[in-house]
Structures are given as C-alpha cells and as structure tokens.
Amino acid sequence: MCLACGQFILLESYTTYPTIWAPYYTCHKIMRGLLDAHTLAGNAQALTVAAKMGDWVHSRLGRLPKAQLERMWSIYIAGEYGGMNEVMADLYALTGRAEHLAAARCFDNTALLDACAEDRDILDGRHANQHIPQFTGYLPMFDHTGEERYASAARKFWGMVAGPRTYSLDGTGQGEMFRARGAIAATLDDKNAETCATYNMLKLSRQLFFREPDPAYMDHYERGLTNHILASRRDAASTESPEVTYFVGMGPGVAREYGNTGTCCGGTGMENHTKYQDSVYLRSADSGALYVNLYLASTLCWPERGLVIEQTSDFPAEGVRTLTFREGAGSLDLKLRIPSWATGGVTVTVNGVRQRVEAVPGTYLTLSRSWQRGDRVGISMLYRLRVERALDDPAVQSVFHGPVLLVARSAEQGFRQFSFYKDFTLRGDLADVIRPEGRPHHFTTHGLVLAPFFVGYTSRYHAYFRRVERVVVFGTADSGVPNRARANGLTFLDVLWAQAPFATSAAFVESVRVLADAWVAEGLFSRTERDAVVAAAVRADLRRRARKLLTCTWRNGYMGALPYPSGA
C-alpha cells in the first residue's frame, strides 16, 4: 500500500489529525493545478490526467454510505478537503461525465449545508478555513443542478461571516476557528484572522457577485484586499521565504509574524499578490454593462467589445481615479461602485464636465452613453476619518481613513484609551481631534502615531482601542454627569454626536435637550442630571473653532462642499 493511498484509507476509518493531514485537500490542489493548466494554457494532457483523478475519486467515494462521508467531512483538519466539490463540478463542466458531478455531490457537508440554507447559524467552534471553500464549491453545484439550497447556503453562510465574524481588517477566526456570532472584542488576541480564510472569503464574494451583482460583496472584497491581503506581505525582499502572514493578531500590542514557508498561508500568500487585478472589472452576461469594482491602476482589454480602458489611480492613497477609453467605441453602461465608506461626497466627471448624478454609498452609479475613443471618466471620493465599533462591546473601536484601517504603534499590552467627544466642534468630525502627521494616511492622536495597517512592518500595534468618555462634556463645559449607556452599549454622547453636524448652537442645544429628556424617560438621567447636561450645552461655545476648521477645509480644495462629519 502506497503512503498516499494509506492516507485516504485511514480517513475512511475516521483517523484523526495529526496521524493524517487532509488528503483530499492535497488532491484538490493537484486537480486545480491541472485544470488551470488546461483552461489557461491549453494543455490537453492536463485535462486527461485530471479526468482520470476524478474517476478515481468517484470510484473511491461513490461506494461509501452517506453517513460515512458525513462523518469524514466533520473531522477536524483530517476531513478538510479544500475545494474538492468545486474542482469536481468544474471537471464535470469540461467532461460532461455524470460520474464527475456525482463525485462532487459526495463532498456535500449536509448538516452544515442544510443549516446554512435554512439560515441557522451553527458555525461557532468550527474550523473556519476548512468550511469556507465548501461554500465556494456549492455555487457551481447550483449552476449544474439548479438546486436552490446550494445557492441559498452560500449566500447565508457569507452573511454569517462577513460582518458578524470579521475583525476590522476583514479577516475572521481565532486560532483557525470560527467563534460565536458577534464575538469580536471578546476574541481579540495574537492569533486572529488566518490569511487563507480571507483569501477564500474574497473568492466566495467574487463567486456570489457573478450570480447577483450586489455591491456589498465588493465592499467586503475591497476591505479585505486593502487591509488584510495587502498587509499580509512584509515590505522586505526575500529569496528564501514568501515573508507572508499566517495569523494576523488584532489584540492590543501584538505584532505581525512573517515567514510561513510550507504552510497553507504560505502557498496562498504567494498567490495573493499576483491577483490584485482579479475583480477590478466584471461584465454583465450580455456584455452591455461593465462593473468597475475596484479603483486600482489597471488596463482592461475587452476583445469582444473592441475596448481598451485604462485606469490611473494611486489607491489606497486618496485622489482622483481616471478611466480613459484608449481604444474602441460604442454604447455601454459603465457601473461605478460607490463604496459604503464614501460618505464624505463623491464627484464624477466625464471629459472634465461634472455629472449631475446621485452617488449613494453602497450602490453602483451608472453612466449610460455611447463612448468614444479618448473619453475620460474621473471619480473622486473624499476620505473621512471614522470609527467602527466592535459588535459585542461598542467601546472597543477601530479608526479608519476612508477604506484604510489605521493602527496605533505602541508596545503597551493593554487597550490604549482614547477620548474624542470633548474636543468636537459643531460639525462633530474626528478631523477636529485626529491630526495629519505629514504623510499619507498617517495621523497623531493621544500622543500616538496612527499608521495604515497595509504597511508591512513588524513593530507592535493596536488595531483596536477602548473609547473612554466617562462624563458628558462639551468643549470646556463639563456637566459633571456620567455619560451613561443604553443596553446596546451606546452612550449619551454616542447618540448625540451621531446627529451631527449641527447648523447652529441653538440646534445643538435643542438636540441635547431632546436626547436628555429621552435619557430621563429611560431612567438613565435624573431630572437634576438632565438640567446639568442642558446647562452645559448652553454654556458651550463650539462655533468659532468650527468656522475656522471649515474655512481651512475650503482652502484645501475639498470637493466644493462643506464636509459632513465622520462617525464618532
């Protein structure tokens, strides 16, 4: 018995890791490489070999009872099979042989598949990267069988991970495992966010977008690409190691560790940095629309339409992105993704003429016209500072500048404590208290430098801080009243400043008065405390400084309109 066959036999008798180590995971990598050699390089022999491997998989698994398969795929790591269902479905598309589709069905992880299709979240405690590729495989299974449960499970699974189980860099997992839905602050440590898991979540997002062009999938894609994948390579040359990350810690005072030759994240880590063009542009099925998903410097060659479109961009730096029609002409719906973070204003021009269009964050803006060679489309999106709160503890927060996660460089092992509201002006903008440091995406606050996480350095950092706003204070006017929180964790000042900007001091005072009355009704303020808070708002003078800052904003050429406040 050969060693390789022995691994498969042992799996069928439920042998666990580390005695065996995911034999079908390795099988998937070989078969995927062969199919790529055929489809991308035209190697006919590669398809012949892959087809024979597919026959072998069917002969081995097709005779096993469903209960045995179910138990095999539930075994931690040993039962990990990567994208075997996907590669078998793709093989079926090329060969048309029923055995290959039947073999793909053998990889149905039915208990989890059915739970996700029914929107029952049972992910807690499961191996993250063992299961994410399974759902990528269910999408071609839907294409070939028409069985809705496959597509439904993939969509619902994505929603269980993207958001409820993602850290601010858009990675997921603690020590390779999914944790409870919404458990973000509670799971921060030095072994979060396995890079392979993000690789596969981006792949799943792309596959879902093919079938339903929802901009939320590409918002997730951009976020993960910018703040995890780009950050996963050390900014240093190496001829001996890929110098990429395995885990990326999100806890206070952690550091990224690079290297990982021989691990799954080493292999996908090298592939990641060849794929930045992967989803920049996608076309509609009828070729009547072009989706511009990512604003990355690139050139699109579209032979079927005779188009060559060049994009110039300094992303992730702020600036104008320009799309130029270098070759070709014709009618086309150009769909420009307006990221969910682009709440500070968006300007779109065609041949230098500003377009009167509504750019709604989290949607696509469509420009429909007959394009000519030399036409230029400019897109400018103002980057704003904002915070994002952990789902399970709103006081644990991250800072972003537009799409870019900022981290504080500090070796301290506990959460750094930040306080912002006391320095706000009427506009309620974090730019009042987080100052530019002189380099793109670099700022200072509380005596610390905030730097973009995508820079691959090895110093210790804080991706999250703890927000501490103990007393209701407006500028120099201190009410002396505790800044109490509702059951959802949002404090009086959180709710108040979410209403900014305030056009006048009178409008600010009125908002304080209404909210303070609500706090009394909810038993969070006494009448005496309510009066003290309103009196502090009346005493506060937040106007002059706001006017000065807004004037500076105009002089620096921001988009011809007053900026709205960032989230606080």
Q: Residue 283 contacts by C-beta under 8 Å, 6 or more apart in sequence? A: 289, 290, 291, 302
**Is the per-residue pLDDT at 177 higher than 50?**
yes
| Beta carbons of 333 and 319 less than 8 angstroms apart | no
Count CA atoms closer than 13 A to 326's CA, side-chain side. Answer: 13
Query: What does the pLDDT look like over 307-318, one tens digit per residue?
Result: 999 999 999 999
544 pLDDT band, cuts 50/70/90, is low
- DSSP letter assigned to residue 416: P
**Is the per-residue pLDDT at 274 higher than 90?**
no
Q: Residue 259 contacts by C-beta under 8 Å, 6 or more apart in sequence? A: 241, 242, 243, 244, 266
- DSSP letter assigned to residue 228: I
Instruction: Give the C-alpha separation, 286 to 309, whole Å.
Output: 19
541 pLDDT band, cuts 50/70/90, is very high
Instruction: Say what the pLDDT of residue 443 is.
Output: 97
Encode 339-381 in three state secondary structure: CCCCCCCEEEEECCEECCCCCCCCEEEEEEEEECCCCEEEEEE
**Is the per-residue pLDDT at 384 higher than 80?**
yes
**Is the per-residue pLDDT at 567 higher than 60?**
no
Instruction: Give the C-alpha separation, 116 to 252, whole Å.
Output: 33
Instruction: Say what the pLDDT of residue 559 is.
Output: 29
Instruction: Say what the pLDDT of residue 547 is.
Output: 43
| Beta carbons of 289 and 335 less than 8 angstroms apart | yes
What average pLDDT does the chain have? Answer: 93
- Provide the percentage of residues in the chain whose pLDDT is more than 90: 88
- Whole-angstrom Cα Rg for the chain: 26
**Is the per-residue pLDDT at 347 higher than 80?**
yes
Nearest to 255 by CA among 270, 245, 265, 266: 245
pLDDT top residue among 1 and 33:
33
* Rounded average pLDDT over 318-337: 97
- DSSP letter assigned to residue 385: E
* Residue 349, both tokens: 């021009």
Instruction: Say what the pLDDT of residue 543 is.
Output: 80
* Rounded average pLDDT over 456-471: 95
* Rounded average pLDDT over 139-156: 98
Please give the single-letter amino acid code of residue 296.
L
Query: What does the pLDDT look like over 86-126, one tens digit per residue?
Result: 999 999 999 999 999 999 999 999 999 999 999 999 999 99
**Is the per-residue pLDDT at 552 higher than 50?**
no
Domain range 281-315+319-381, its CATH number among 3.40.50, 2.60.120, 1.20.120, 2.60.40: 2.60.40
Instruction: Give the C-alpha separation, 14 to 23, whole Å.
Output: 12
225 phi, psi to nearest 5 deg: -65, -45
Instruction: Give the C-alpha separation, 541 to 543, whole Å.
Output: 6
pLDDT top residue among 283 and 21:
283
* Alpha helices, H only, 146-241: 148-161, 195-211, 215-224
Instruction: Say what the pLDDT of residue 558 is.
Output: 28
- Cα–Cα distances in angstroms (integers) from residue 142 to residues 45, 285, 393, 400, 472, in the given order: 28, 17, 38, 37, 55
Instruction: Say what the pLDDT of residue 236 is.
Output: 83
Instruction: Say what the pLDDT of residue 66 is.
Output: 95
- 368 C-beta neighbours (distance < 10 Å), count: 12
* Rounded average pLDDT over 271-280: 91
225 pLDDT band, cuts 50/70/90, is very high
| Beta carbons of 334 and 348 less than 8 angstroms apart | no
- Residue that the structure tokens 């458990």 belong to: 183
- 151 C-beta neighbours (distance < 10 Å), count: 19
Query: What does the pLDDT look like over 365-382, one tens digit per residue?
Result: 999 999 999 999 999 999
**Is the per-residue pLDDT at 204 higher than 90?**
yes
pTM score of the predicted model:
0.92
4 pLDDT band, cuts 50/70/90, is low
Q: Give the 3-state secondary structure of residue 334.
A: strand
Nearest to 481 by CA among 523, 424, 528: 528
Domain boundaries, the chain: 1-107, 109-232, 281-315+319-381, 385-555
**Is the per-residue pLDDT at 555 higher than 90?**
no
- Cβ-count burial 390-413 (b if 16+ within 10 Å, e if not): bbebbbbbbbbbbbbbbbbebeee
Instruction: Say what the pLDDT of residue 457 is.
Output: 86
**Is the per-residue pLDDT at 2 higher than 80?**
no
Instruction: Give the C-alpha separation, 334 to 375, whole Å.
Output: 12
- Cβ-count burial 213-247 (b if 16+ within 10 Å, e if not): bbbbbbbbbbbbbbbbbbbbbbeeeeeeebbbbbb
Q: Average the pLDDT over each of 47-61, 309-323, 550-564 and give the range with the smallest value.
A: 550-564
Instruction: Say what the pLDDT of residue 266 is.
Output: 81
* Residue 373, both tokens: 């060679």
End-to-end CA separation in angstroms for the chain: 64
